[in-house]
Structure 1
């Protein structure tokens, strides 16, 4: 399965026994929206709520850090995922958080394949397609989560990379947060960016109807941000969510040598010992 599937494709697959549809909506801190309440008000028929905001390590002080294999297994089974499941992830969020859900499902080796619904719920609804309301209680699945190695960058990795410049670092936050001109949404966090990193706001990768831009358009965006698509990249953002969008976009244009800094600015910005830069890249 490709990284992206269309709403037309999904409409033709709904109801097939191996298909699992997951709502991975998530909002930035301070956003007055409730992803679970919105799911229960209207979701794609047959979908289950991934509850991405709670799918994180509860013992890590940095918000949104990846959960243990055991926690991911428990959540996957509650979502009805089996080893042969074809999984489609979507969202109804301006952060386009489905990419984080897609990346996590793949990282933990869940299901037979996983893809992002291009355009998400907004495009689905705009096309007049049916939705359901209420909570979802899928039959339990039997998938086992085993996190793959080598796909996640740590703070130590990024610190080492500042000296080596082995990988390019690409930040998905808005330009104001990257330069330090705008405050971070998390109280007490300094603004700025990882020294040497480049900036490409994740919102730039999408059309107005929430579809990802074409491969040629994505390639031009990465190039204009100063990224050599043929070299390794570490993606980062505020808390590891929109960084997954950049990772997906880079894979779409042929770069598979991409890791995601899971702690991102939520970890880096709160640590007084990490070096920080302000201004343009």
Structure 2
């Protein structure tokens, strides 16, 4: 199974033994975004055999920052409720503007799931092609998952400080140009405008074709290089809260480059009075 699978492939292989399909839709709910209920949307229609992941529930309980990656105990509990097994082959999709399946991809890999793919074009492409849908909730048989705390593919504040101070790693920011430059105020209270000094801006929608499918090969590489990113140097990804940074990390992965995601992202960095900040163009 490739890291990015087509709707044609999934239609032909969706019932294969050991293959799990997870709906990783999550709606961030920033100011100005219309409210949506991902669970209700799933119940109204989803891919055959899919399970609703409830990505919002996988955030660490009580964490001070939004969308914080779960600890091993919380992750294992929720993964067990989904009926996941360590050797599952997992295909993720979403129906969310922030491409949240990529966040689930980063999370599952961080906890040792080795065969995880995204559905190219996601829910929108599947539906547009008139493929079959199911309704109702999903009730998988629970399992017991043994996981250990893992930092694979993730950075905390200290890690990002070290990369920034070292200067060898390129920091790539997935937010809009207006939020990156500081022309637009941050939507979260107490968070400064701007970006991490020296970082590059690659708004995550630039990794997709107009039909919502991923750019690949030379077209995908061109999106990075147009943002001033040297794909032959180390990379680290950031955004507002670690969601769309995961989109950049998956895009880099498609190009054969591994890039960690700064989990706290700008919400943490911009809200910390001790961190350096910049405004304006990269």
Indicate the SS of the match to 2:28.
Answer: coil
2:93 aligned with 1:90: yes
Matching residue within 65, 69, 72 for 2:68: 65
Other-structure match for 1:262: 263
Structure 2 gap segments, 5+ residues each: none
Deviates more, 1:117-126 or 1:186-195: 186-195
Other-structure match for 2:116: 114
Matching residue within 165, 168, 176 for 2:167: 165
Cα deviation, residue 150, structure 1:
4.6
Cα deviation, residue 263, structure 1:
0.5
Contact 1:109 1:147 in 2 (8 A): no
Structure 2 distance, partners of 1:127, 1:144, is 38
Other-structure match for 1:234: 236
Cα deviation, residue 183, structure 1:
2.3
Indicate the SS of the match to 1:231.
Answer: coil
CA deviations on 1:234-256 (whole Å, 9 max, x unpaired) are 10001111111111111211212
What is the RMSD computed on CA atoms of the aligned residues?
A: 1.4
Cα deviation, residue 69, structure 1:
0.8
Deviates more, 1:157-166 or 1:223-232: 157-166
Deviates more, 1:88-97 or 1:265-274: 265-274
Matching residue within 229, 244, 248 for 2:250: 248
Cα deviation, residue 137, structure 1:
0.7
- Number of paired residues? 279
Indicate the SS of the match to 1:250.
Answer: helix
Cα deviation, residue 126, structure 1:
0.2
Other-structure match for 1:125: 127
Structure 2 distance, partners of 1:126, 1:64, is 30
Cα deviation, residue 138, structure 1:
0.8
Other-structure match for 1:22: 22
Other-structure match for 2:209: 207
2:279 aligned with 1:278: yes
Contact 1:29 1:186 in 2 (8 A): no
Cα deviation, residue 84, structure 1:
2.1
Indicate the SS of the match to 1:76.
Answer: helix
Deviates more, 1:24-33 or 1:208-217: 24-33
CA deviations on 1:9-58 (whole Å, 9 max, x unpaired) are 11111222311111111122233111111111111111111111121111
Contact 1:80 1:140 in 2 (8 A): yes
Contact 2:106 2:153 in 1 (8 A): no
CA deviations on 1:151-198 (whole Å, 9 max, x unpaired) are 211211222222220210000001111001112232332221011100
Matching residue within 182, 185, 188 for 1:183: 185
Normalised by the size of structure 1, how large is the TM-score? Answer: 0.95
Structure 2 distance, partners of 1:186, 1:23, is 27
Indicate the SS of the match to 2:260.
Answer: strand
2:107 aligned with 1:104: yes
